[in-house]
Amino acid sequence: MIDLVESYRQGKLPEANVILAEQHEGRHNELLAGQYRIVLRNCGVIDPKSIEDYEAQGGYSALKKALTMQPEEIVEEVKASGLRGRGGAGFSTGLKWSFAARAKGSKKYVVCNADEGDPGAFMDRSTLEGDPHNVIEGMIIGAYAMGADEGYIYCRAEYPMAIHHLRIAIEAAEIKGYLGRNIMGTGFNFELHIKEGAGAFVCGEETALMQSIEGKRGMPTIRPPFPAESGLWGCPTNINNVETWANITWIINNGSTEFRKIGTDKSPGTKVFALAGKIAGSGLIEVPMGIPIRDIIYKVGGGMKTEKPFKAVQMGGPSGGCIPASLLDTIVDYDSINATGAIMGSGGMVVMDSGTCMVDVARFFLNFTQNESCGKCTFCRIGTRRMLEILTRITEGKGEAEDIVKLEELATNIIKGSLCGLGQTAPNPVLTTLRYFKDEYLAHIEEKRCPAGVCTSLLRYEVIADKCVGCTACARKCPVSCISGSVKQAHVIDQDKCIKCGACFKACKFEAISKG
Amino acid sequence: MEQDFSMLDAIIGKYRNRSGILIPLLQDVQQTLGYLSKDAMRYLAEQMQIPAADIYGVATFYSMFKLKPQGKHIIRVCKGTACHVSDADGIKDALRNELGLEGEEDTTADMKFTLLEVACLGCCSLAPVIMVDDTTFGKLTPDSIKGILQRYAYEEEA
Ligand SMILES: Cc1cc2nc3c(=O)[nH]c(=O)nc-3n(C[C@H](O)[C@H](O)[C@H](O)COP(=O)(O)O)c2cc1C
Ligand code: FES
């Protein structure tokens, strides 16, 4: 952790990839206890720029094994493993592969979705930076299994180091004959390209992503046809997330039976999470499916960052929701998380404490989706805007009693009336906060009060007369001169003039100003 | 006056008659010119035989493409979830204040800095985070902003 911060400060790219939670001062073993590494097994262990390092860890042995198998056998093995897509929706990877394998066409593509657009998530970034060959090897195996001869990795342009490491890795794999023509003398050809994203969240959606690879505006298209039938340039295409691809080599090497021993029956394997927010040990973790969220936060993550108590954990980014303290014993698998109204998502976990306002969080996500809506569907384009206006109004203390009903109505219609997952899931952050934190909405609307003290317009700063020593520090700092009082006398804030900037609160050395 | 865009011809040559190249083409052009002016896009349209509307459509869709000149240093302030709950707004206000940006302005009058808001920089455990050009600064407080900016002002004179 320290190394990473230091090298960033010095303006250098860190040399070795660092897995953050691992280096949490002296608590190494304790924090690692609950973890199990499949996807991240090499991250931080090998030099990601050295193919020899990767080979020394058993790299490309899965490819060698796969090339001795029939393509159908590989698809069956992946199907038997029960691996589910790690990009969010959790669709069976083996099943998806079987569609693409069966699809008619002499030209097929495989694609790796490395767009990682969810704010608060950095799993794919770390995987690509720390172990690019594992993803590439998974893609070569997939291409062989499905009969594809060309592939793309679509990577966010915000991740220059991931792109850099991928380029080095592809070149090295070509030189070693793992990529290119006549791979390892088997007659199988596979060419792999990198496409840099250009900054649009919706391009993480698979049909929009393919539009973008084709050089167009990234607007989702209607499914069916699914990419497996008609994807890139009309050819059968299989698209998987980075982490999904990163599981393949392990499954081929160890077999589906071993894979199924980890995790739960319906969600086998592990999941990588990016822990962030108000948690002590923020960073990247990989845990077996089935672990309770409570253990992730209090054992693996080392608990809360400050004294402030836990309030909620946000999972699934803008498509997800907030899971409250009462549901902390929910276990991590696709179906259990869905039951809470949140989604597993790609693995961002942002921990929130009592200092986080849930109405503000809902507004934050709506602002995001409203900005990122591609504009194709009316409900998504305008509906999210209307929801954002209502939420903004509530956080400004102008909320009305019927606003909650309006929000619910809009949410239902946006879910029904949108073509792609962006619109269909955009209301989730609002719906989950309404479900678990309705009292906070009501405090904003009825009492014009923000219990967490976040919504500036609803704040009220007051001088606590007993504690005020009359030092005049606050009055001197106030930008609108609304604090009056003589030296050594208790001061008073003129509430009509106060702009709630908080300057007095910060200036006071005697804790004589209350905020609430 | 007609602007001379012949410096783009080498880039155009590289991409001519290839499919799916519009985004990397515009990325290269932006790299050369700093931004995509309407005239530059018109020139590309003529040279590449692509409708100008298609080029403009792509340029306005992706946040990476800039239609206005940008400052010498690009400051990206992260507004992602982890940063948001760690007072990214305070950092943004401090930056705007320090740079003297008013209203909707995002570039300083001396063209030294442009301030952009981005959704997540992928270093959420360092929240709140900003990036100045290619350098990331994490675990910030509003008070730390002044020092960071001074570094850039200072470098210039040195
Ligand atoms: C708005 C939107 C954004 C998405 N963003 C991503 C993303 O950043 N990364 C990703 O892997 N999948 C993303 N997806 C999911 C993809 O559409 C697709 O389901 C996934 O890449 C399939 O891979 P998997 O089966 O391996 O999960 C997104 C979906 C939607 C609707
Ligand atoms: S939320 Fe700011 S870096 Fe991810």
Yes or no: say if A132 and B92 are a contact pair by the CB < 8 Å rule: no
DSSP A259: H
Report the C-alpha gap between A30 and A450 in whole angstroms. 37
Which residue in B25, B14, B18 sits closest to B59, CA to CA? B25
Do the Cβ atoms of B20 and A1 come within 8 Å?
A: no
- On chain A, the residues whose CB falls within 8 A of the CB of B64 are 157, 198-199
**Model pLDDT for residues A146-190, shown as the tens digit of each residue:** 999 999 999 998 888 999 999 999 999 999 999 999 999 999 999
Distance between CA atoms of residues A175 and A216, nearest Å: 33
**Cis-peptide into A288, omega within 30 deg:** no
DSSP for A458-505, please give it. G--EEE-TTT-----HHHHH-TT--EE--TTS--EE-TTT-----HHH
Q: Does A122 contact chain B (CB < 8 Å)?
A: yes
Q: Which residue of A has its CA nearest to B23?
A: A215
User: A497 vs A422, A479, A501, A516, CA distance in Å?
Assistant: 42, 11, 11, 17
List residues bridging with A268 in a β-sheet.
A263
The verdict on a CB contact (< 8 Å) between B120 and A374 is no
CATH tag for A358-446 (out of 3.40.30.10, 2.70.70.10, 1.20.1440.230, 3.90.1640.10): 1.20.1440.230
Angle between helices B52-61 and B22-33 (to 10 degrees): 80
Interface of B with A (CB under 8 A): 19-24, 26-27, 57-58, 61-65, 79-82, 84-86, 118-127, 134-139
pLDDT at position B34 over 60: yes
Mean of all residue pLDDT scores within chain B = 91
> From the CA of A85, how far away is ligand 1's center (Å)?
9
State the span(s) of chain A assigned CATH 3.30.70.20.
459-515
DSSP string, A381-408: IIIHHHHHHHHHHHHTT---TTHHHHHH
> Which amino acid would we find at residue A158?
E
Question: What integer pLDDT is reported at residue A158 of this predicted model?
Answer: 82
* pLDDT tens-digit readout, B47-95: 999 999 999 999 999 999 999 999 999 999 999 999 999 989 999 999 9
Q: Which fold has domain A459-515?
A: Alpha-Beta Plaits (3.30.70)
Q: What confidence score (pLDDT) does residue A29 get?
A: 47
Q: Is the pLDDT of residue A32 over 70?
A: no
Using the Cβ of A274 and the Cβ atoms of chain B, whether some distance falls under 8 Å is answered with: yes
pLDDT at A16 over 50: no
Q: Which of B85, B118, B120 sits opposite A121 (nearest CB)?
A: B120
Dihedral over alpha carbons A16, A19, A21, A26 (to 10 degrees): -40
Tokens (6 digits) for A236: 């059968």
Which residue, by CA, sits nearest to atom 1 of ligand 2?
Answer: B80
Report yes or no: A292 at the B interface, CB cutoff 8 Å: no
Over residues A398-410, mean pLDDT: 96
Q: How far apart are CA A213 and CA A233, in angstroms?
A: 10
- What pLDDT does residue A33 have? 64
Task: Judge whether residue A27 has pLDDT over 70.
Answer: no
A394: its two tokens = 């509530």
Share of chain A above pLDDT 90, in %: 85
Q: Which amino acid, one-letter code, is at A336?
A: S
| pLDDT, mean of residues A493-504 | 90
Give the residue range(s) of CATH 3.10.20.600 domains in chain A.
270-353
pLDDT of residue B155: 66
CA–CA separation, B66 and B106 (whole Å): 12
Question: Are B121 and B80 in contact, with CB atoms under 8 Å apart?
Answer: yes
Whether A126 and A169 have beta carbons less than 8 Å apart is answered as no
Q: In chain A, which residues have their Cβ closer than 8 Å to the Cβ of B134?
A: 11, 160
Residue B151 neighbours by CB distance under 10 Å? 14
How many whole angstroms separate alpha carbon A86 and alpha carbon A316? 11
> CATH 3.40.50.11540 occupies which residues in chain A?
41-260
Fold of A41-260: Rossmann fold (3.40.50)
- Residue-wise pLDDT tens digits, A236-252: 999 999 999 999 999 99
The pLDDT of residue A386 = 97
Residue with token string 């860190």: A14
User: Coil, helix or strand for B137?
Assistant: strand
At residue A347 the predicted structure's pLDDT band, cuts being 50, 70 and 90, is: very high
Residue A19 pLDDT greater than 80, yes or no: no
Cβ-based neighbour number of residue A462 at 10 Å? 15
Which carries the bigger pLDDT value, residue A57 or residue A502?
A57
Look at residue A49 and tell me whether its pLDDT is greater than 50.
Answer: yes
Of 3.30.565.10, 3.40.30.10, 3.50.50.60, 3.100.10.10, which CATH number belongs to B73-157?
3.40.30.10
Indicate the pairing of strand A109-114 with strand A150-155: parallel
In the sheet that A109-114 helps form, which strands lie side by side, from edge to edge? A191-196, A150-155, A109-114, A237-241
SS3 B89: helix
3-state secondary structure of A280: coil
Residues A185-206 have pLDDT tens digits of: 999 999 999 999 988 999 999 9
Residue A4 has pLDDT above 50, yes or no: no
Q: What pLDDT does residue A14 have?
A: 40
Distance, in Å, from the CA atom of A511 to the CA atom of A466, rounded to the nearest integer, reads 11
Query: How far apart are the two ends of chain A, measured CA to CA in Å?
Result: 35
Going from the Cα of B118 to the center of ligand 2, the distance in angstroms, rounded, reads 9
d(CA A183, CA A134): 17
Cβ atoms of A240 and A248 within 8 Å: the answer is no
DSSP per residue, A30-83: HHHTT---STTTTTTTS-TT-HHHHHHTTTTHHHHHHHTS-HHHHHHHHHHHT-
**Where residue A26 falls among pLDDT bands split at 50, 70, 90?**
very low
**For B62, which of A5, A119, A198 is closest by C-beta distance?**
A198
- Give the model's confidence band at A506: pLDDT under 50 very low, under 70 low, under 90 confident, else very high: confident
Q: Which of A11, A121, A356 sits opposite B85 (nearest CB)?
A: A356
CB contact (8 A) between residue B62 and residue A218: yes
Of A413, A408, A338, the C-alpha closest to A381 is A413
Interface mutation vs chain B, best among A2, A3, A5, most B CBs within 10 Å: A5
Cα separation, A32 vs A46, whole angstroms: 18
Q: Are A192 and A151 in contact (CB under 8 A)?
A: yes
Q: Which CATH number fits domain A270-353: 3.10.20.600, 3.40.47.10, 3.40.50.10950, 3.40.50.1100?
A: 3.10.20.600
| Vertex B83: Cα angle to B81 and B88 (nearest 5) | 120
- DSSP code for A296: I
Token pair 């262990």 in the structure block, residue: A45
- Within A198-255, residue ranges assigned H as helices are 206-213, 242-254
At residue A246, what is the residue type? A
Query: A31: pLDDT confidence band, cut at 50, 70 and 90?
Result: low
Please judge whether A278 and B126 are an interchain contact, meaning their C-beta atoms are less than 8 angstroms apart.
no
Average pLDDT, chain A: 91
A13: pLDDT strictly greater than 70: no
Ligand 2 centroid–CA A63 distance in Å is 35
Q: Which residues lie closer than 8 Å to B109 by C-beta, 6 or more apart?
A: B100
Is the ipTM higher than 0.95? The answer is no
Q: Report percent pLDDT > 90 for chain B.
A: 75
Please tell me the predicted confidence (pLDDT) of residue A10. 44
CB A159 within 8 A of CB A128: yes
| Min Cα–Cα distance to chain B from A277, Å | 5
Give the ligand 1 atom nearest the CA of A207. 17
Provide, as residue numbers in chain A, all residues whose Cβ is less than 8 Å from the Cβ of B26.
198
| Amino acid identity, position A364 | F
Average the pLDDT over A20-36 and give the result. 53
Give B102-139 pLDDT, tens digit per residue.
Answer: 988 999 999 999 999 988 888 898 899 999 988 889 99
Mean pLDDT of A91-104: 97
Side-chain half-sphere exposure of A299, counting CA atoms within 13 A = 16
B124/A125 CB distance under 8 A = no
The predicted pLDDT at position A1 comes to 35
Confidence of residue B2 (pLDDT cuts 50, 70, 90): low
Shortest CA gap B84–chain A (Å):
8
Binding-site residues, ligand 1, Cβ < 6 A: A 85-89, 91, 113, 115-117, 202, 204-206, 239-241, 244, 346, 420-422
pTM summary value: 0.90
Among residues B77, B75, B71, which one has the least CA distance to residue B34?
Answer: B71
With a 6 A CB cut-off, is B83 part of the ligand 2 pocket? yes
Residue A24's pLDDT band (cuts 50, 70, 90):
very low
Task: Find out whether the beta carbon of B120 lies less than 6 Å from any atom of ligand 2.
Answer: yes
pLDDT tens sequence across A368-377:
999 999 999 9
